[in-house]
Amino acid sequence: MINTLNRRKLSTDIGSFEILYKDLLGRIGKLKTKSGYIETPCLLPVVNITKQPISMDELYNELNCKAIMTNAYLLKKKFESSIIEKGIHEFLGFEGVVFTDSGAYQILTYGEIDVDPLEIVFFEEDIGSDIAVILDFPTGIGGSRKKAELTINETLKRGDDALKKIRRKDILWVGPIQGGTYIDLVKLCSQEMSERNFSIYALGSPTKVMESYKFETLFNMIFTAKSNLPMNRPFHLFGAGHPFMFSLAVASGCDMFDSAAYVIYARNGRYLTDYGTSKIEDMKYFPCSCPICVKNTPKDLLELNFEKKIELLSKHNLYICFEEIKRIKEAILEGRLWELIEIRTKSHPSLLQAMSCFKKYKNFLEESTPSSKKHGIFFFGKQSTYRPEVVRYRKRIIEDYKSPRNFKRMLLLPAPTNKPLIRNKFIKYLIRNFGSFKDLQICTYLSPFGIVPLEISDMFPLSQTEMCKESNEEGGEDIISTITNYLKKNDYKKIIIHSDNKFWDKNKLKKIRKICDRKKIDLCVSYHGDKVWNRESLENIIKILEIPFNGASS
């Protein structure tokens, strides 16, 4: 089943957001503005017209950049009359979508700015922005809780004032979420802001969090805001800098983000890759095939004058950023966004640590992930145990699954390597003799899913999961938890465990015995070490089941 949500003709209403495909909380969507559509996920390069190394024509035509961000406050201070006369698009010479920030970053940096919040709103209307941010009051990080509460109240007040005074209905207005690293305040602000009719919502004050590599805090902020905002509106992340975290930002619910990092890194002689950053003076080869890297070596760039070096390095950095966005879109389309974020978390320990947030919000992710996909899933180890497909199965086998028969006995087998599971010769033999034991249910224990009744073993993703042998031994506690919950729900008289000694240690068996004793279930364990599927073990388990052996072998 293709991960397609919407094949209808796109709405022509300004502000409409049509979701076409999704995976995790990532969405490929179309947002209508007065200057055309934005396809999400979308990166908007931040443009500073006074020191912009890449021309608007090159951005639009060479790099295929159709949306940018610029700072309305800085433009007002330097070019107010001429930009009002020409309009933002003509002034910049950019025919795509223009998103204007309001100057909140300058408040965060300098403490205050010499402009009234409504004055910025009216200026953004006068210059014809496509997407515009109200002048919020940023929380930042490191301040007191009292200050954080003040920034929320002031931001909400400014939002109310702006919505009352806004004249143009063809501009998409952004409602920023404040609260900083006080997660409960982020939740409160999100709930309050969700009651205000903004076209787009955005997470404010994340820049310093990202700069200090506090990605666990960042994604906790994102998940908290996202889970308390309307799901039918785009969500923007201010100041997302490095492409190695784009996929995690999208997976946690960010539809749009802006970045000036491509220029900032270039000015410091830093070369972006999708997995890290290098200084060009330390490099001999460019691991990239963009137009800049194909024609130049690190030595070539070092020999250029400063401005030309910045221009070429900025272009490369943007190529890498846009390439990662396309990679993310393809991952969403293919239903492989989880695999991509697992790869990216290996880029830096702080990103790997941030996966704890994905575990914390695993149920929220599961609710937003399609129930079937074009491809099977890859299981790599511990992180994969809380991916949405696994979480969904564990939940449904306990809450929703009803056995088609009134089974009184269960044979619990280790999962064979064959897929689907019924290809195993031992299991085929038991199926052929099913008439001899109508009261017997055959189940397997399979990492990371837990208990798998044979009758549903060919369903997605059970027989569509690829894993290495070592990965199959991960998630032992989760498997036992699923088995015990399944036993609590169903009534059996006898459980026969065909034991793989590598999995069934004393602690795991103790937990099974405890639930069997409580429910007065007869527990029988057949030990065979590594020879679970040989003729001797087959004969032994058939003897336990009291089925005549007819010479079948695995």
Query: For residue range 94-153, what is the model confidence (pLDDT) as tens digits?
Result: 999 999 999 888 887 777 788 899 999 999 999 999 999 999 999 988 889 999 999 999
What is the DSSP code (8-state) at residue 301?
A: H
Which helix (H) or strand (E) is 31 found in, with range? strand 26-33
Residue from 465, 458, 389 nearest 23 by CA: 389
CATH label, 41-364, candidates 2.40.50.100, 1.20.120.1200, 3.20.20.105, 3.30.2130.10: 3.20.20.105
> Active-site residues: which are they?
101
- The 10s digit of each residue's pLDDT in 456-491 is 888 888 888 887 765 555 557 888 889 999 999 888
Q: Is the pLDDT of residue 1 over 70?
A: no
Relative orientation angle of helices 117-127 and 145-165, to the nearest 10 degrees: 40
Which helix (H) or strand (E) is 390 found in, with range? helix 388-399
Same fold, 41-364 and 381-545: no
Arithmetic mean of pLDDT, 62-91: 95
466: β partners: 378
Residue from 292, 252, 251, 254 nearest 272 by CA: 292
Class of domain 381-545: alpha beta
- The 10s digit of each residue's pLDDT in 200-218 is 999 987 888 888 889 999 9
Q: Is 503 exposed, middle or buried (0-12, 13-18, 19+ CB in 10 A)?
A: middle
Beta strands in 276-363 (DSSP E): 277-279
Q: Is the pLDDT of residue 55 over 60?
A: yes
Q: Is the pLDDT of residue 540 over 80?
A: no
At 326, which amino acid appears? K
How far is Cα 73 from Cα 80, in angstroms, rounded to an integer?
9
Who's near 320: CB < 8 A, 6+ residues apart?
A: 243, 272, 273, 274, 288, 290
Q: Is the pLDDT of residue 449 over 50?
A: yes
How far is Cα 367 from Cα 392, in angstroms, rounded to an integer?
8
Question: Which has the minimum average pLDDT: 10-24, 60-74, 536-550?
Answer: 536-550
pLDDT value at position 335? 93
Question: Edge-to-edge strands of the sheet including 36-40?
Answer: 17-23, 26-33, 36-40
At 345, which amino acid appears? T
Domains of the chain, by residue range, sit at 41-364, 381-545
Structure pTM? 0.90
Arithmetic mean of pLDDT, 292-306: 96
Only one residue has tokens 């564990």, namely 394
- pLDDT band for position 353 (cuts 50, 70, 90): very high
